Structure 1
Amino acid sequence: MRVLIVGAGIAGPTLAYWLRRMGHEPTLVERASRLREGGYIVDFWGSGFEVAERMGIVPRLLEEGYHFREAREVSKSGRRIAHFDPLHVIEGAAAGRYITVGRSDLARIIYEAIEGDVETILGDTVESLDDDGDRVRVAFAHGAEREFDLVVGADGLHSRVRRLVFGPEAEYEKYLGITIAAFDLDGYRPRDELVAVTHTEVGAQALRLALRDGATMFCFTFRYAGDMPYDDVAAQQALLREQLSGIEWEVPGILDQLPHARTFYMDRASQIRMPSWSRGRVALVGDAGACPSFLAGQGSALAMVEAYVLASELDRTHCDHEAAFAGYHRQLASLVLKKQDAAIGLGAAFAPHNRMQLLLRNTVVGLMGIPFVANLAMGRSLRDPIRLPPPPGG
């Protein structure tokens, strides 16, 4: 089959990898003119890690990822007030199948697994989709019109494919009241190697991570009820400064260096909840159809699982897309819903509503150093209740 995959983030290239292995002809189209850089760091484990193992990319992930030795909460003056060892807490529960990696690095490593094997169109996107039941006619913003057997939207939280086929984003988005901003700087001091340093106040949190080559990544989460100035980086940075104007620790100095940021990312922490991820010959995968939100902490791994299961269902049903799409949803809907529901209650960890929530959050961080408490808090979330089907195209 000829399958158009819209979006070259995590889910899209993963799906292209497995479809190509099955002998199909995937075409990957990405609106950006090059692979995206920057963004935030993700903790990668569970069934997504197993998919990565089956793709043979785990050695690259371990090479480029990080094993942070301490998660540290600090006061306004920088004094350590709570901490735990994530290597002991998380890697132990995950049986060693765990790595922290930049989201853009994960996307690049997946893309490298298909580079040269899959037709890729950068700097373009879909303008319209016409599904006549036998094929999908696709008009591109810049390229010539083409026909495909299937179209898969893997174009993220603000999916254009979803909007064209299923309707406005507002019908499916559940905003969790928190906005995230992430950027990186060269040469920032101080540096705490392999330590995730956070400072949390009522309504906001700042995270500092020392990366390789002298770079430091910063991630801010804050409660915000207003509109997001999409496609306007200057307005986004102005909003960030405004919302964090009363936050102490190193935050004022960090924000002073915003003009020197190598990359910048800002968006709402939202979920996408849909009764179905397909319509006719069009399906959605990853954040486009089932975004659990940044707060869930496992969106990238989940996107890989979704892509893998979708390819497996197409393989199992001998390309009966209706049966495959139904099986894809049946296998994953419950898992996705559980992760989305769990994420809703995590907002207080990233931006507490009040001082009581802040005190409780910091107390829990300190207690994470106790194995029993850590296993109780995280053990179940590190084991996905799903058994992956055999590799498609095997």
Structure 2
Amino acid sequence: MRRMVCGEERRFLCFLGYHTAAYIFDDPQIHTYARNWFCLIDTIERQMGFYALRDGRVATFAVHRAPNPALPADAQQAVRDTYSSLGWIVPQALAKCPVSSQVYYDQVAQIEISQWSRGRVTLLCDACQAVSLLGGQGASLAVAGAHMLAAQLTCTDSIDAALARYKQLWKPVIADSQQAARRAAAWFLPASTLQLWLRRTLLRLAALPNVDSYVATALVGKAGPTPDKLSQSPAVHAR
């Protein structure tokens, strides 16, 4: 659908320089380690996290810097090769890495499209607004964006005007979130020993009262206006 509205993906896919992987596996020992916690092991340009699922399995999430957006032919082997030196419980988890078809593996990217609609077809959520995992707000922005679109379709005289107003009001919110995600990239996956030390220190300080909100603002930006408040802005004429 996005290709029909906007053309080839390469025109608006913005690769941020990272690859990510995730999979689920069974390991009672690691499940015990990760119970009630999100366990993270990191180093320069790589990190892997673990959390225990209620059904007794363990979910793992990994990110590393990658100069090339092209994805590997064998995701299982790529994960094992990239993260094998991390230590702690990582080798044990890598031994449980399933076959490539059961591994989520993708590039970390954003979608930046100038045109959200064509005729009565419009794009929603990550199809036109992806902020990437660095932003950490994908689900919230998707729900809020859908709410914004529904509100404009309800209160605007024509579909064309509603789609134009939806984009006018919501695109700046998405742009701010994408910019915040790009700013957070160096913090998310440090490229030097100093950056790694600063990141770990900041995470420890985040446990202190009032510091957590400062850290959140630094990483994802200030909270934007709600869709209802944005909808009260002056109307825009469809073009």
| TM-score category of the 2 structures, normalised to the smaller one | 0.7 to 0.9
Alignment of 1:203-222 (within 5 A): 203-222=45-64
Give the deviation of 1:261 after TM superposition: 9.4
Which of residues 4, 11, 15 is equivalent to 1:175?
15
Contact 2:26 2:96 in 1 (8 A): no
Give the deviation of 1:297 after TM superposition: 0.6
1:201/1:246 CA distance change after superposition, 3 Å = same
242-251 vs 165-174, which moves further: 242-251
Contact 1:295 1:346 in 2 (8 A): yes
Give the equivalent residue in structure 1 for 2:179: 341
Task: Calculate the aligned-residue CA RMSD, in Å.
Answer: 2.3
Task: Determine if the alignment matches structure 1 residue 228 to structure 2 residue 70.
Answer: yes
Which of residues 179, 182, 186 is equivalent to 2:26?
186
User: Where do 4+ consecutive residues of structure 1 move more than 6 Å?
Assistant: none
Q: Which structure has the higher relative contact order (CA within 8 Å, separation 6+)?
A: 1
Which of residues 14, 39, 42 is equivalent to 1:197?
39
1:336/1:362 CA distance change after superposition, 3 Å = same
- Report the count of equivalent residues: 226
1:238/1:307 CA distance change after superposition, 3 Å = same
- Distance in 2 between residues matched to 1:240 and 1:260, nearest whole Å: 11
- Distance in 2 between residues matched to 1:326 and 1:259, nearest whole Å: 45
Give the equivalent residue in structure 1 for 2:111: 272
Task: Determine if the alignment matches structure 1 residue 326 to structure 2 residue 199.
Answer: no
Give the deviation of 1:219 after TM superposition: 0.3
TM (norm. structure 1) is 0.54
Provide, for residues 243-290 of structure 1, a one-character-per-residue CA deviation record: whole Å limited to 9, x for no partner. Answer: 223322222221111137995311111001112311222211111101
Structure 1: stretches of 5+ with no match in the other structure: 1-160
* SS of 2:134 mapped into structure 1: helix
Letter in 1 for 2:228: P
* SS of 1:213 mapped into structure 2: coil
- Distance in 2 between residues matched to 1:179 and 1:350, nearest whole Å: 13
Give the equivalent residue in structure 2 for 1:314: 153
Provide, for residues 164-183 of structure 1, a one-character-per-residue CA deviation record: whole Å limited to 9, x for no partner. Answer: 22111111111111111111
- Distance in 1 between residues matched to 2:116 and 2:69, nearest whole Å: 27
Provide, for residues 200-241 of structure 1, a one-character-per-residue CA deviation record: whole Å limited to 9, x for no partner. Answer: 1001001010110211110001111224338x6xx1222222
275-284 vs 198-207, which moves further: 275-284
Task: Determine if the alignment matches structure 1 residue 370 to structure 2 residue 212.
Answer: no
Letter in 2 for 1:167: G
Give the equivalent residue in structure 2 for 1:305: 144
Which of residues 238, 247, 250 is equivalent to 2:86?
247
Contact 2:69 2:107 in 1 (8 A): no
Give the deviation of 1:293 after TM superposition: 0.4
Provide, for residues 28-58 of structure 1, a one-character-per-residue CA deviation record: whole Å limited to 9, x for no partner. Answer: xxxxxxxxxxxxxxxxxxxxxxxxxxxxxxx
Q: Percent identity?
A: 30
Give the equivalent residue in structure 1 for 2:237: none
Judging by fraction of residues, say which structure has more strand.
Answer: 1
Letter in 2 for 1:373: V
Give the deviation of 1:379 after TM superposition: 5.2
Contact 1:184 1:262 in 2 (8 A): no
Contact 1:185 1:262 in 2 (8 A): no
Give the equivalent residue in structure 2 for 1:351: 189
Alignment of 1:1-394 (within 5 A): 161-190=1-30, 191=32, 192-229=34-71, 235-259=74-98, 263-318=102-157, 320-378=158-216, 384-389=223-228
Letter in 2 for 1:170: R
Contact 1:184 1:215 in 2 (8 A): yes
- Distance in 2 between residues matched to 1:199 and 1:213, nearest whole Å: 23
Give the deviation of 1:322 after TM superposition: 1.0
TM (norm. structure 2) is 0.86
* SS of 2:210 mapped into structure 1: helix
Give the deviation of 1:346 after TM superposition: 1.8
Letter in 1 for 2:214: L
1:258/1:288 CA distance change after superposition, 3 Å = same
Contact 1:184 1:218 in 2 (8 A): yes
